[in-house]
Structure 1
Amino acid sequence: MGSEQIRRWESGALAHAVTDPFGQGPVPWLRGGETYFGDSGQIVPWYVDPEPAPRPGGRGGGTRATTTRSSPDGGGPNAADDVHLQIKGFTSTGAVAPGDAIDFHITVDPPQEFSVDVYRIGHYGGDGAAKITSSPRLSGIVQPAPLAADRTVSCHHWWLSWRLQVPTYWNIGAYVAVLTTADGYRSHVPFTVRDNQPADLLLLLPDITWQAYNLYPEDGRAGASLYHAWDKDGRLLGEADAATTVSFDRPYAGAGLPLHVGHAYDFIRFAERYGYDLAYADARDLHAGRVDPTRYRGLVFPGHDEYWSAAMRRTTELAREQGTSLVFLSANTMYWQVELSPSASGVPDRLLTCRKRKGPGKPVLWREVDRPEQEVLGIQYAGRVPEPHPLIVRNADHWLWEATGAHEGDPVEDLVAGEADRYFPRAPLPPYDERVLLAHSPYRDPDGVPRHQETSLYRSPSGAWVFASGTFAWSPALDRPGHVDPRIQRATANLMDRICKRD
């Protein structure tokens, strides 16, 4: 029984690993689904390339990662994991502006030198990322074990390993620090560089939802997320025994990339390829009031964005009322209500709390406090989709489907996947001048019950457009190898052009 349990959690840690995404060209990875494990204890991917993409020849636009030691499959350096903690790290700062510093806290076991290569996510001629800078060789140490209290795991006591002073000339965007040890183990730390300059579109990276799913350390002992924890025998426990508070002061599980991070990167590559004027921020920026919606024509929520604070929702609703459009490219958005609080040392917004159905107080589903998410999105979460189904085009004469070649009732294969939203007739709708459902797609839920997905668009009285794709698979269709669909690319461009008022 013991060895079986070890296989259960070790398989999870290793399955989360990514060998060398920045040597694979367009960064075509995605980890798992909305849960980490199937009944067998193995990761159950819902929408992922079964084999790594072949490495293309150089096409310009960035320097590729340097391979220091090959893994057995020849895919580049060995991926660090949470069992052995060969190299793991996190930043103790949120999004930073050019000219600011970002602090990295890194553990290395066994102690040895390591380096940090910093990449910016973008199109870059199809490469998907460009190397921007590299650190000098740094001295790595074994940091203290994570601290845990009531399932909340924190590494806030780790020593500072490296401070990156972001040059003023760096482009804003989504960045990944790639950590590599001298003996060839690798991990990743994502971070955001933002500013307050006006732009057509503001991309909001869902770091709050990323942290809710973070099971670090995924080692069969200490790790906990808002979904899972471990018992004393290394068995994976469910939501009833999971954490109610998680900390941002810790690495992400496995290879250090958040669950669903690929959704945001898919949209970034698409938007940069077609020249959209894009600004960047994190969900915590939206929460903390650092986002002024009047500076943008549209706010884009590119990936799974399930956990929302009251302040996030208030600012987003205000944006819509002031004429700023909203674009939700995933499903199960704005589902749980959360609170953010300072760390023990007083740093703001380092602890994320969601009590779900545990303990006293009000329920924390937005729809259960009489504020269903449909009042913002126009549709809301309906449930899981156990295997991909086609999206069925509806209202094909609408301008969103213009020049896509889509006709009424056409299937867009595999586009309803992961989770799905639909219109709920008994839930209130937002005020609107125009409203249309652009897809109506039948599928069966995990129990075999017939369900359907819908894609929604409405125009607020302020003139703002609000689009909700109603499926996890929309962003991957924009620029993920093996999943690109030209109809979805064109439809998304039609929407963005309308919002950005391109001729």
Structure 2
Amino acid sequence: MKPAPPNSPRMNRRQFIATTGSLAVSAQIGAPSSASAGAASDVIPRENARPGTRDWMLTKTGIDPKTKYRCPWIEGYCSRTSVRAGGKISFHVSTNPPSPFTIDLYRTGYYGGTGGRHVLSLGSFKGVTQPDPPIGPNRLRECQWEPCTELTIPDDWVSGVYVGKLTSEREGWQSYVIFIVRDDRRADFLFQCSDTTWQAYNRWPDQFALYDDGKDKWYCGPGVDVSFDRPYGKYCQILDAPLSTGSGSWFLWEFPFAYWMEAQGYDVSYISNLDTHADAKGLLRAKGFLSIGHDEYYSIEMYDHLKAAVAAGVNACFFSGDTCWGRIDPRPSTRGTPNRIFSRIDAFGPCLPGADSWAGSNKFPYQTPSEADLIGARNAPPVTGGAAWTCTLPNHWIFAGTGMKKGEGIPGLVGWEWMGMPADIPGLEVVSTGMTRNGSKGPKGEGVYAATIYPGPKKNIVFNAATCWWGDGLSEPPGYVRPKVYTEPRGVDVRAQRITSNILDHIKHGTHTP
């Protein structure tokens, strides 16, 4: 990454870490500390004051070229997507060839810029080669591997996203397993991990994502099942990141946002998409709900639960793109564990011109409400593309302290999928909009994104950033790989940080800077 020129809003990772200190980003980069403002809880600042390490990062991993996505030398999955303290989770690991292995568990966060804290070592375990699952109905690949161990989550583990670094002792190969520790405390913010989307794009063991019907390269219709009972293969879109194998797309899209939030000391608790699906009351324990990165797949229960939470006064922020496009149907595994299998059964909202050309999309009933009624905007074809994130309402409070003028943009921040077509909701404002381009010739390659904000019924707000790449403007954690397609975001930007802190502080305190 090239150094930022004088007076540039960009900042590279070393500059960012140098100015953040141990907990809070300084005023120099435009993001006031929530911790210093008297946070309701000091759980996150206290956690991040503990010793951190970069040992959570993989150092030796590889991909079997015959499969393109898997690391057969060592790979695994967890029995649950999220678990409370006191709950049990099991780890299911295969090594081929058989090798003894260890599991080192880390909580990801800020930790003085290291990105993680080591919490537990497990093993050594014998290691066996576990069987590849047969191809089931609707191309389901559901592993029924034996667990190597079961863990009861300690009571003092703070809510967060945890990774288990798997290391084979025979040749040193590594990959991850990933899970969320959730809690039930009142918190300022609920950070929803987009793990149904992680799983939808998981092609393990080779071509068995939600997008693989055995015929079309990118199938977008119903009739394909995927299971959480399998390892996460290497991510299959936008980035070539084998050092994140096994972690879904956490490190690619959501981690920069979480890293920045924890550096600020914001009071945040983490949940899975499936917690939003199964625990409607749990959403009411927070002032604000956060959707981050690439958050494409929702059940109708998720949609209804979030609509009800907004109606009850919870603020909702969609710092994400391609959000709530595909409707899924979480259901039990073949062994009866809840919410381990899902398929794509519909798309949210009526079909739009352009979307009808996607393979399989003509098979949907289109009987699901529009995502725009929740988020404030739709997934508008051509859906893909990039642009600068351009200010349209410079006097709006979200731009306070940014110095942004009408028509001024944050280069490359919109991508690679975005939201458009603002909803007809009373009081909705378009705070940023512009033309997107995806490289195709003619109007098929152009679209119009729209970032929006609208008032809820109890002085709450719903904000839509309209881009998958918002986190790139907030931080560049260790190991981060910058995306580049259609546009390339430019990294840490004081304006993106300030807009984010304006919104989060408004939610936290119920007021904003005039």
For residues 84 and 428 of structure 2, the distance between their equivalents in structure 1, rounded to whole angstroms, comes to 38
Q: Which residue of 2 aligns with 1:166?
A: 153
Q: CA deviation at 1:406?
A: 1.2
User: 2:409 aligned to 411, 414, 417, which one?
Assistant: 411
User: 2:503 aligned to 472, 495, 501, which one?
Assistant: 495
For residues 489 and 390 of structure 1, the distance between their equivalents in structure 2, rounded to whole angstroms, comes to 15
Q: CA deviation at 1:112?
A: 1.1
Are the aligned partners of 1:80 and 1:187 in contact in 2 as well (CA < 8 Å)?
no
Q: Which residue of 1 aligns with 2:375?
A: 377
Structure 2: runs of 5+ lacking an equivalent: 1-15, 18-48, 235-244, 348-358, 478-489
Given the alignment of the two structures, is residue 126 of structure 1 paired with residue 110 of structure 2, yes or no?
no
Root-mean-square deviation (CA, aligned residues, Å) is: 2.7
The superposition leaves residues 235-280 of structure 1 with CA deviations (integer Å, 9 ceiling, x where unpaired) of x733169961111110111211213653221111111111111111
Letter in 2 for 1:380: R
For residues 372 and 386 of structure 1, the distance between their equivalents in structure 2, rounded to whole angstroms, comes to 19
The superposition leaves residues 407-455 of structure 1 with CA deviations (integer Å, 9 ceiling, x where unpaired) of 111121111110121124xxx534x4x3211111212244332322111
Aligned identity (percent) is 29
Q: What does 1:73-222 correspond to in 2, within 5 Å?
A: 76-79=59-62, 81=64, 82=69, 85-182=72-169, 183-218=171-206
Q: Relative to structure 1, is the Cα distance of residues 275 and 326 closer, same or farther in structure 2, using a 3 angstrom cutoff?
A: same
Higher alpha-carbon deviation: 143-152 or 199-208: 143-152
State how many pairs are aligned.
Answer: 424
User: 1:237 aligned to 217, 234, 247, which one?
Assistant: 217
Q: CA deviation at 1:228?
A: 2.4
Letter in 2 for 1:463: K
For residues 153 and 480 of structure 1, the distance between their equivalents in structure 2, rounded to whole angstroms, comes to 36
Are the aligned partners of 1:261 and 1:303 in contact in 2 as well (CA < 8 Å)?
no
For residues 396 and 503 of structure 2, the distance between their equivalents in structure 1, rounded to whole angstroms, comes to 11
Q: Which residue of 1 aligns with 2:329?
A: 339
For residues 292 and 386 of structure 2, the distance between their equivalents in structure 1, rounded to whole angstroms, comes to 19
For residues 211 and 394 of structure 2, the distance between their equivalents in structure 1, rounded to whole angstroms, comes to 39
SS in 1 for 2:474: helix
Are the aligned partners of 1:224 and 1:243 in contact in 2 as well (CA < 8 Å)?
no
Q: What does 1:246-395 correspond to in 2, within 5 Å?
A: 246-254=226-234, 255-259=245-249, 261-289=251-279, 291-355=281-345, 363=364, 368-369=366-367, 371-383=369-381, 388-395=386-393
The superposition leaves residues 148-185 of structure 1 with CA deviations (integer Å, 9 ceiling, x where unpaired) of 11343334321111222221111111111111111111
Structure 1: runs of 5+ lacking an equivalent: 1-24, 27-58, 68-74
The superposition leaves residues 332-377 of structure 1 with CA deviations (integer Å, 9 ceiling, x where unpaired) of 111111111111111111111114599999826xxx3262111111
Q: CA deviation at 1:293?
A: 2.4
SS in 1 for 2:90: strand
Q: Which residue of 2 aligns with 1:43?
A: none
Q: TM-score, normalised by structure 2?
A: 0.77
Q: What does 1:40-51 correspond to in 2, within 5 Å?
A: none
Q: Relative to structure 1, is the Cα distance of residues 304 and 110 closer, same or farther in structure 2, using a 3 angstrom cutoff?
A: same
User: 1:441 aligned to 423, 434, 458, which one?
Assistant: 434
Q: Relative to structure 1, is the Cα distance of residues 323 and 386 closer, same or farther in structure 2, using a 3 angstrom cutoff?
A: closer
* Larger relative contact order, structure 1 or 2 (CA cutoff 8 Å, min sep 6): 2
For residues 283 and 385 of structure 2, the distance between their equivalents in structure 1, rounded to whole angstroms, comes to 37
Letter in 1 for 2:415: A
Q: Which residue of 2 aligns with 1:466?
A: 462
Q: Relative to structure 1, is the Cα distance of residues 241 and 460 closer, same or farther in structure 2, using a 3 angstrom cutoff?
A: closer
Q: Relative to structure 1, is the Cα distance of residues 241 and 406 closer, same or farther in structure 2, using a 3 angstrom cutoff?
A: closer
For residues 90 and 84 of structure 1, the distance between their equivalents in structure 2, rounded to whole angstroms, comes to 13
For residues 231 and 297 of structure 2, the distance between their equivalents in structure 1, rounded to whole angstroms, comes to 19
For residues 172 and 497 of structure 1, the distance between their equivalents in structure 2, rounded to whole angstroms, comes to 21
For residues 228 and 116 of structure 1, the distance between their equivalents in structure 2, rounded to whole angstroms, comes to 31
Q: Relative to structure 1, is the Cα distance of residues 349 and 485 closer, same or farther in structure 2, using a 3 angstrom cutoff?
A: same
For residues 78 and 93 of structure 1, the distance between their equivalents in structure 2, rounded to whole angstroms, comes to 24
For residues 469 and 382 of structure 2, the distance between their equivalents in structure 1, rounded to whole angstroms, comes to 13
SS in 2 for 1:191: strand
For residues 60 and 209 of structure 1, the distance between their equivalents in structure 2, rounded to whole angstroms, comes to 32
For residues 298 and 221 of structure 2, the distance between their equivalents in structure 1, rounded to whole angstroms, comes to 22
Q: Relative to structure 1, is the Cα distance of residues 83 and 336 closer, same or farther in structure 2, using a 3 angstrom cutoff?
A: closer
